[in-house]
Structure 1
Amino acid sequence: MSNFEKRLAELGVTLPDAPAPAANYVPFVVVGDLVHISGQISQKDGALLTGKLGDGVSIEDGAKAARTCAIGLLAQLKAACGGDLDRLVRVVKLTGFVSSTADFTDQPKVINGASDFLVDALGEAGRHARSAVSAASLPLGVTVEIEGIFQIR
């Protein structure tokens, strides 16, 4: 078990198997020492987390949905690293998409669910640049989708 996975276990998190792509794309692309991971959608235990911020979904529930996306990103990263999560150098950038109404403006608070989790789980290696944007809708009606760029050794 990697050092990062030990920390995840302390947080009560076991990484799932990396989900397969749902369409015509690959889950990640490795270019040099960077891993570009395709968008991971909000889901827990195989169930989609759906709904729209500003229309029935709370910021707290949105942040929980973002956290599940971060777990999916780490599962994909582990697959990209041949099962060795300790190859991670740092999280470089996240781009978070929040399904929300036109007047909802707290997208950063929602994506904090992913950012806070990555810092808790990875320490300084989890600190990253980030964008948090609104979307009128997301695939399959999910609440959040997040893509990421990671540096590996």
Structure 2
Amino acid sequence: MPNDIETRLAELGHSLPDAPAPAANYVPYVMAGPLLHISGQISMDADGLITGKLGQDLDVAAGAKAAERCALSLIAQAKAACSGDLGRVKRVVKLVGFVNSTANFTDQPKVVNGASDLMVAVFGEAGPHARSAVSAASLPMGVAVEIEGIFEIA
């Protein structure tokens, strides 16, 4: 039976992907006290990796959609860490977004809003969070966006 978070996701037209497996020598998440630290989730959808450089190959809207896909993977990792119970998420604490962008692209915050907006829509009052939005000259496998997150868990 879906919980409130999964119901909100469905109402927004989203379904969670499977929690992605690590691509190198790290774990997908670490629980430290009540804080869940989730490793960077890269932009991908059902068709595969979302690649490209903002300011060259992708516009802000496409970048924001890529960031939204990262957010869905973050939520999928949180679900796995909470043994399937997203109701245990008390708060989205912080997101750090890395945007594969050209040297003159300055709209990284607008791109990472794709993830932030989804967190607020899904988690309501527990969704607003601290955040960084950083330009990167390149990202793993050429992806457009990578986002890591910290969540408070009950």
* Aligned twin of 1:134: 135
Q: Distance in 1 between matches of 2:147 and 2:24?
A: 16
CA deviation string 1:18-45 (max 9, x = no partner): 0100000000000110000000000001
Q: Distance in 1 between matches of 2:20 and 2:100?
A: 21
Q: Distance in 2 between matches of 1:115 and 1:135?
A: 19
* TM-score (normalised: structure 2): 0.98
Give 1:98-113 correspondences, 5 Å limit.
Answer: 98-113=99-114
Q: Percent identity?
A: 68
* Aligned twin of 1:53: 54
Distance apart, 1:56 and its partner CA: 2.1
SS in structure 2 of the partner of residue 98 of structure 1: strand
Compared CA separation, residues 36 and 46, structure 1 to 2 (3 A)? farther
Q: Distance in 2 between matches of 1:126 and 1:100?
A: 26
Distance apart, 1:17 and its partner CA: 1.2
Q: Distance in 1 between matches of 2:47 and 2:38?
A: 19
1:79 aligns with 2:80: yes
1:149 aligns with 2:150: yes
* Aligned twin of 1:65: 66
Q: Distance in 2 between matches of 1:46 and 1:77?
A: 23
* TM-score (normalised: structure 1): 0.98
Residue ranges of structure 1 left out of the alignment (5+ in a row): none
1:24 aligns with 2:15: no
Compared CA separation, residues 64 and 54, structure 1 to 2 (3 A)? same
SS in structure 1 of the partner of residue 109 of structure 2: helix
Q: Distance in 1 between matches of 2:44 and 2:100?
A: 14
Q: Distance in 2 between matches of 1:103 and 1:12?
A: 34
Corresponding pairs, count: 153
Distance apart, 1:46 and its partner CA: 4.9
Q: Distance in 1 between matches of 2:47 and 2:126?
A: 28
* Aligned twin of 1:88: 89
Tell me which stretches of 4 or more aligned residues in structure 1 moved more than 4 Å.
none
